[in-house]
Chains A and B, each alone.
Chain A
């Protein structure tokens, strides 16, 4: 894969990631979000965050599988898009769901209560909080400053993914296929990591033996 191809892939991925947001923005403007607009916004931003997060976690296995090392250049962009949708999702929850659009209506204690009392809300919050430091340390400067610790820190992405899937599963009233499908994809991606780690170890052992 050449640098030019990567640029094209990156541009395409950017457009794909921006699409759900642009679509929601357009439909919000035209009052075309369906009968329950808040629900549409909430569901769509949440799902966009989760899907893009899974895509982010797929970059490394895909790179290993194909040998296209430049793919790694997609990871930060995807991760930041996932964070963006999670942030909007959380903001919608606070502003619209918890009616904090106007400060006078806002009961912060109710939000804290909701998060602490309900594992469904808590799991979403865990997912968001796991992504927050990753977004903040996604700059070149932070990567340099943190060195080896950066990689360790960014393993929080798995926690974010797992909590996100659990949040989606706990949201549904009856078991539905979609959240479980995302769960299965996440498990596959994690298994791929295990295989990659095992291969690395074996290669290192082989080198040592030689």
Chain B
């Protein structure tokens, strides 16, 4: 009996792509700031329309055609330890975070270091919708329509020096508005990093929105990184600093537990987390952890070549 209900939930909670597409088309034809009232409205559409719409988004051939998850699933369940360790904490506590004004410091081995106001950082770039698979290291996954631009475009703009081999990212540290930072669950601020070729990969996204709207705070507003072939924690949120460095930068989860979380943390069904298998995942909305996890989260065709010759068991 329990099982039967499960399949009911699954089909109703995931927005069919056709519905989502038609919403998107409607939103895109509507004038900016128009209040969206459209088919398939749920109570979360109220929340959805509370976030400002992003105008002029282009579609991307890099998007998956899989059905996206719903606004509720994407915004009410995630990890953002700055707001607490429970999956409901980000949605519950992130409202108090002020994301305007926002400055991103670009520094290190780069020709044009500067403190960029968010608007100036984003303005020169054509925003695209990128529908990516998202795979958490905890073995749940989702399909999320991000809005953003390739990190590579920003990197080219700021002209890194030849010596710059890695890009290091830092999340905002503001304990007064981020209650999780008043605990020592992780070392603060949260830091992440990518090898230069990973950062330059066209799939690597600097995201400012989801579902055609500005990012809600709990999802890493106002700007975050999305690296779809890596476990979710590599996709650092609420970025305030991007540094170009020579040596592999420290990363938060690696500092917390190096045996469990490597620098690379590529999605890999053949390398288990010490405490659980990574061979299968639970697609949010499903009752059963029965979806086989794909190498590089299904992006092997695009990214496998940059890891050629590397022992991915050793460099997990």
A contact residues vs B (CB 8 Å cutoff): 28-29, 31, 34-39, 95-99, 101, 105, 110, 114, 117-118, 120-121, 170-176
**Contact for B186 among A29, A37, A101, A174, CB less than 8 A:** A174
Is B290 part of the binding interface, using a Cβ–Cβ cutoff of 8 Å?
yes
Expressed in whole angstroms, the Cα–Cα distance for A105 and B3 within the complex equals 15
How near does chain B come to A94, taking the closest CB pair, in angstroms?
Answer: 11
Q: Give me the 7 closest cross-chain CB pairs, A-B, nearest first.
A: A35-B77, A99-B290, A31-B9, A174-B185, A120-B275, A35-B73, A96-B288
Closest to A176 in B: B85
**Contact for A36 among B8, B186, B277, B282, CB less than 8 A:** B282
Q: A118 contacts B280, CB within 8 Å?
A: no
Interface-central residue, B12, B140, B290, by most chain A CB under 10 Å: B290
Q: B287 contacts A174, CB within 8 Å?
A: no
How near does chain A come to B96, taking the closest CB pair, in angstroms?
Answer: 22
Q: Contacts A28-B5, A101-B3, A174-B256 hold; do A35 and B76 have CB atoms under 8 A apart?
A: yes
Expressed in whole angstroms, the Cα–Cα distance for A99 and B292 within the complex equals 11
Q: Contacts A29-B5, A174-B185, A176-B85 hold; do A35 and B288 have CB atoms under 8 A apart?
A: no
* B1-19 contact mask (Cβ, 8 Å, vs A): 1 or 0: 0110110110011000000
Given contacts A37-B9, A39-B140, A97-B289, 10 further A-B contacts (CB under 8 A): A28-B2, A34-B76, A36-B77, A36-B87, A36-B140, A99-B288, A121-B276, A174-B81, A174-B186, A176-B85
Closest to B185 in A: A174
Is B284 part of the binding interface, using a Cβ–Cβ cutoff of 8 Å?
yes
Q: A31 contacts B275, CB within 8 Å?
A: no
Q: A36 contacts B85, CB within 8 Å?
A: no
Q: B12 contacts A38, CB within 8 Å?
A: no
A-B contact pairs, 13 of them (CB 8 A): A28-B2, A31-B5, A31-B13, A34-B76, A35-B72, A37-B6, A39-B140, A39-B282, A96-B287, A96-B289, A97-B289, A118-B274, A173-B260
Expressed in whole angstroms, the Cα–Cα distance for A39 and B185 within the complex equals 21
Q: Which residues of A contact B6 (CB under 8 A)?
A: 37
Is B88 part of the binding interface, using a Cβ–Cβ cutoff of 8 Å?
yes
Expressed in whole angstroms, the Cα–Cα distance for A39 and B282 within the complex equals 10
Expressed in whole angstroms, the Cα–Cα distance for A29 and B119 within the complex equals 47
Q: Which residues of A contact B279 (CB under 8 A)?
A: 110
Q: B8 contacts A31, CB within 8 Å?
A: yes
Q: B277 contacts A110, CB within 8 Å?
A: yes
Expressed in whole angstroms, the Cα–Cα distance for A38 and B272 within the complex equals 20
How near does chain A come to B14, taking the closest CB pair, in angstroms?
Answer: 11
| Total interface residues in chain B, CB < 8 Å | 38
Expressed in whole angstroms, the Cα–Cα distance for A29 and B72 within the complex equals 19
Closest to A30 in B: B5
Expressed in whole angstroms, the Cα–Cα distance for A101 and B289 within the complex equals 10
Expressed in whole angstroms, the Cα–Cα distance for A203 and B247 within the complex equals 69
Expressed in whole angstroms, the Cα–Cα distance for A37 and B285 within the complex equals 7
Interface-central residue, A39, A105, A170, A176, by most chain B CB under 10 Å: A39
Using a CB-CB cutoff of 8 Å, which residues 270-316 of chain B contact chain A? 272, 274-277, 279-280, 282, 284-290
How near does chain A come to B155, taking the closest CB pair, in angstroms?
Answer: 31
Q: A98 contacts B289, CB within 8 Å?
A: yes
* B226-259 contact mask (Cβ, 8 Å, vs A): 1 or 0: 0000000000000000000000000000001100
Q: Contacts A36-B87, A36-B282 hold; do A118 and B288 have CB atoms under 8 A apart?
A: no
Closest to A171 in B: B275
How near does chain A come to B132, taking the closest CB pair, in angstroms?
Answer: 18
Q: B280 contacts A35, CB within 8 Å?
A: no
Closest to A98 in B: B289
Q: Contacts A29-B5, A118-B275 hold; do A35 and B284 have CB atoms under 8 A apart?
A: yes
Q: B77 contacts A99, CB within 8 Å?
A: no
Q: Which residues of B contact A176 (CB under 8 A)?
A: 85, 185
How near does chain B come to A178, taking the closest CB pair, in angstroms?
Answer: 10
Q: Which residues of A contact B274 (CB under 8 A)?
A: 118
Q: Which residues of B contact A34 (CB under 8 A)?
A: 76-77, 87-88
**Contact for B288 among A38, A110, A114, A171, CB less than 8 A:** A38
How near does chain B come to A171, taking the closest CB pair, in angstroms?
Answer: 8
Interface-central residue, A35, A37, A98, by most chain B CB under 10 Å: A35
Q: B2 contacts A99, CB within 8 Å?
A: no
Using a CB-CB cutoff of 8 Å, which residues 203-245 of chain B contact chain A? none
Q: A31 contacts B2, CB within 8 Å?
A: no
Q: A99 contacts B72, CB within 8 Å?
A: no
Q: Which residues of A contact B282 (CB under 8 A)?
A: 36, 38-39
Expressed in whole angstroms, the Cα–Cα distance for A170 and B8 within the complex equals 33
How near does chain B come to A175, taking the closest CB pair, in angstroms?
Answer: 8
Q: Which residues of A contact B257 (CB under 8 A)?
A: 173
